Amino acid sequence: MSVPVDASRPPPRPAPTLAELAAACLAVSRAPEARKPLRIFGEQVLARPIEDAIAESGLPAPSLAEPVFGTAEHLCGRIERGEKADLYLSEDLVRPRRLVTADLAKHVIPFARQGHCAAILGMAVVTDRPEALLFATFLLSEEGQAVLARHGFRPVASDL
């Protein structure tokens, strides 16, 4: 049995590559219209790695707000009470998943492991802003993982 093909519809386009997505995000993030700066919330233990990753990410300085660091409960609570953040980086997956479950974040991405223990660090992508997606992509890239490794973190996939 064959499925009829609708000749009036163009064939589906192939999915864009990661490089194509990054280039598109970068083009949008550098558009002339004014944008609010990217807001990154991170748990205190991640302060130095996040600051180094921001510096090496290649995102233009005007597109970034000063990152906000604090305890997990404090930062997660701020987002739950309506404070705006684009990314939330946590030393576990529990709180990022809590934000997704509460429909306050779109995705949870494991991005590193802590030293020699099994704990997986999680990133909640709260918005789909191009800058947020670019920074998340940078953290997952070889370069971003090298920044994290300098601070004693390992890639999530290193044990798989």
Q: What is the pLDDT of residues 59-98, one digit of tens each?
A: 887 888 999 999 999 999 999 999 999 999 999 999 999 9
Evaluate the CA torsion angle 80, 94, 146, 117 in order and state its sign. positive
The Cα 127–Cα 77 span in angstroms is 17
Query: Which has the closest alpha carbon to 43: 115, 111, 123?
Result: 123
Q: What is the pLDDT of residues 29-65, one digit of tens each?
A: 555 444 789 999 999 999 999 999 999 998 887 888 9
- Domains of the chain, CATH where assigned: 36-159 (3.40.190.10)
Percent helix, strand and coil across the chain, each to the nearest 5: 40, 20, 40
Cβ-based neighbours of 101, under 8 Å, separated by 6 or more: none
Evaluate the CA torsion angle 100, 104, 109, 115 in order and state its sign. negative
State pTM to two decimals.
0.76
